[in-house]
Structure 1
Amino acid sequence: MTRFRRTFVPLAGIVAVSIGLTACGGTTQDSASNSGGGDRATGTANPDAPIQDGLQIAFLPKQLNNPYSDIEVGGGKTAVEEFGGEYKLVGPNDASASSQVSYINTLIQQGQNVINIAANDPNAVCPSLNQARDAGIKVVTFDSDAAEDCRDLFINQATTQGVGETLAKMTSEQIGGTGKIAVLSATPNATNQNAWIEVLKAELASKPEYRNIELVATVYGNDDDQKSFQETQGLLQTYPDLKAIVSPTTVGIAAAARYISSSSYKGNVVLTGLGTPNQMREYVKNGTVKEFALWDPTNIGYLSAYAGAALASGQITGAEGQKFTAGKLGEYTIGAGGEVVLGPPTVFDANTIDQYNF
């Protein structure tokens, strides 16, 4: 898959396998973590060090059997196979705050070299992640960050500011800059969702072009299809004059589209946010959704895997300004706070959606 351009474009929509298995054996934890890594605080590293063979790379998404997460970890699996590592996928079936903790503890016991995690809660996972780091395991968060002091790197889809601004812009354009809107989010503690929503609120409050838009409610579908469907129904019944629902979660936007598409609200209430082309295609074509946005989630997992391998092999330590190469995606530079940004989202509408298959 080609790498997306690094400049924001007008947005139109956003995105959503449980790929299991793993192998055992390979490079031991001690041999990987002590191979020239250095200290993040001092920024010392050996950028010429090769990626070690047999690195044990674990992926822990928010939940299994979530279409978006499945695509992400699939990209991670592809990367791990490219550099000769051993891929492992574990995770909960629900996206509750503490559901990932037991899996982190098990991965520590197994002596994984890298844990790649999309955190359900920024703080609940921290004690276990720091235990992993104390054991020499590199921790890379992707998609949804943990607190900065309990991971080595964060692979961000796009800048938080950029996503929030895009959500505001897409919504305003589709409702003509006036009316009541609501947000259908994932879980109350989801780091990325909350950050995007805060930027959306700030945009609405500070920019004159949004002065006639009122955010009346934020509800949570817990990244569960049926609950998101019910929350959509509840919003529309509670606010009969609602002009738009903004759902920055792939599960939420698909569930909301399913409800709206078979109701009298179709064509009358705008639905936008973040989703995958494949899950949203029918709703774009039948007129339920005009536009939404998303980055390629495959590349999130792919970049996260290569970042973890670079850490475990000593190419980088996570210090700002260090560079590493992520396979087909090319070179990336670590930003402040150990953040690496994949790039801007892509916009999807009736004219562009058939150009994508994920």
Structure 2
Amino acid sequence: MLTPSLRRAGTALAAGTALAVALTSCGGTTKNDVKADDASAASAGTADPDAPTKRGLTVGFLPKQVNNPYFTAADKGGEKALAELGSRYKEVGPNSATDTSAQVSYVNTLTQQQVDAIAVSAQDPGALCTALKQAMRGGIKVVTYDSDTGPGCRNAFVSQARAEDLGRTEVQLLARQIGYKGKIAILSAAQTATNQNTWIGYMKDELKDPRYRDIELVKIAYGNDDAQQSFQQTQGLLQEHPDLKGIISPTTVGIKAAAQYLSGSKYKGRVELTGLGTPNDLRRYVKNGTVDAFELWDPARLGDLAARTAVALASGRITGRQGETFEAGGRTYTLGENGVIDLGRPTVFDAKNIDRFHF
């Protein structure tokens, strides 16, 4: 999963080839990637937090790519939430995750059909902006999820994870696995990948905590989100540091390649591996003991929250302004700067729960 344009964990969060299309480098936009252009333009009106939840609404879901396991899981979460809320789910979208013009066309079609809200994962933030603004001028509420557009081109963005949470929790997870002692390395994507470098920055900061005083980060390697290069980089790390205790790979391509190498080497069971990955990619490695636990966001929860946010907007309970709150699925969410809503901390996958997830 997991560059940020969710790009997009969990990024080449690429459950094989299909998910790589959806989440290159654990891509998707995260909260820290959002820029503040004319954010106030999308949040006109006054919210009434006590307004009743409207029923019978139609919410159009527009993923980057239909029939992609990641977006199928996310959108089914949205469909289930809308059924619970008494509203109608409608999915449209391109067969290719790079067909930007098709996404624009689908936005225009949903606008013409006068749906009540649109939930979209943007392929090209700039290209979609004009069409989304036109939808909003027609009274349609717009929510982005997984991959954002400009704040002025939608009412709210449901962020799959905060960059800080992703960076810090990966260190916390690996530290527990190695008993807070030993040499570790990071296997990243491209050296210039903004989201990867942001997460690594938080990893380094987390490692400054005294509880990690016996952990040494010896190297950051770059596999460029290429399976063969990532495999070779893992091999090189262990040749250079045969006493390595653990590896963090915050990219689905990297963690899968590292797991493949470790699984067939003498280091299986001796070197811990964690990072951002998908259950479908890593299931076999969890079951054969190569990987103890890894993390990513749960796309079904992401779609669920996107749907509930769309209904809250269409009901007038929120407008997209910072500080507004609303109830969704038994939890209270607060809109942050530029209308960003955090899904929460990433989901940890291990042998106990991995068979419940299929993306």
* TM score, norm. by length of structure 1: 0.70
User: Residues 6-85 of structure 1 correspond to what in structure 2 (within 5 A)?
Assistant: 44-47=46-49, 48-61=51-64, 63-82=65-84, 83-85=86-88
Task: State the match for 1:167 in structure 2.
Answer: 170
In structure 1, C-alpha distance between the alignment counterparts of 2:139 and 2:57, rounded to whole Å: 16
Shift of 1:65: 4.5
User: Residues 63-142 of structure 1 correspond to what in structure 2 (within 5 A)?
Assistant: 63-82=65-84, 83-94=86-97, 99-111=99-111, 112-119=115-122, 125-126=128-129, 128-142=131-145
Task: State the match for 2:187 in structure 1.
Answer: 182
Change (3 A) 1:304 1:168: same
* Greater shift in the superposed pair: 82-91 or 122-131: 122-131
2:231 is aligned with 1:233: yes
For each residue in 1:112-170, what CA deviation from the matched residue of structure 2 results, as whole angstroms up to 9, or x when unmatched?
A: 44332334566565455445444544322223434433332121234332221111222
For each residue in 1:9-57, what CA deviation from the matched residue of structure 2 results, as whole angstroms up to 9, or x when unmatched?
A: xxxxx99799xxxxxxxxxxxxxxxxxxx98656612331432424132
In structure 2, C-alpha distance between the alignment counterparts of 1:261 and 1:67, rounded to whole Å: 25
Secondary structure of the 2:301 match is helix
Secondary structure of the 2:171 match is helix
For each residue in 1:265-285, what CA deviation from the matched residue of structure 2 results, as whole angstroms up to 9, or x when unmatched?
A: 533543211334565333122
> What percent of counterpart residues are identical?
39
How many residues are treated as equivalent by the alignment?
310
Task: State the match for 1:143 in structure 2.
Answer: 146
Secondary structure of the 2:317 match is coil
CA contact (8 A) 2:144 2:158 kept: yes
Greater relative contact order: 1 or 2 (C-alpha under 8 angstroms, separation 6 or more)? 1
Secondary structure of the 1:178 match is strand
Supply the RMSD in Å over aligned alpha carbons.
Answer: 3.7
* Greater shift in the superposed pair: 120-129 or 176-185: 120-129
Please list every run of 5 or more consecutive structure 2 residues that lacks an aligned counterpart in the other structure.
1-12, 20-39
Task: State the match for 1:315 in structure 2.
Answer: 317
For each residue in 1:250-301, what CA deviation from the matched residue of structure 2 results, as whole angstroms up to 9, or x when unmatched?
A: 5653454345423455335432113345653331221111221244321110
CA contact (8 A) 2:14 2:252 kept: yes
In structure 1, C-alpha distance between the alignment counterparts of 2:41 and 2:318, rounded to whole Å: 9
Change (3 A) 1:69 1:264: farther
Secondary structure of the 1:168 match is helix
Change (3 A) 1:300 1:127: same
Task: State the match for 1:5 in structure 2.
Answer: none
CA contact (8 A) 2:187 2:230 kept: no
Partner of residue 217 from structure 2, selected from 213, 218, 224: 213
> Which residue identity does 2:248 align to in structure 1?
V
> Which residue identity does 1:69 align to in structure 2?
F
Partner of residue 153 from structure 1, selected from 128, 152, 156: 156
* TM score, norm. by length of structure 2: 0.70
Task: State the match for 2:8 in structure 1.
Answer: none
Task: State the match for 1:337 in structure 2.
Answer: 338
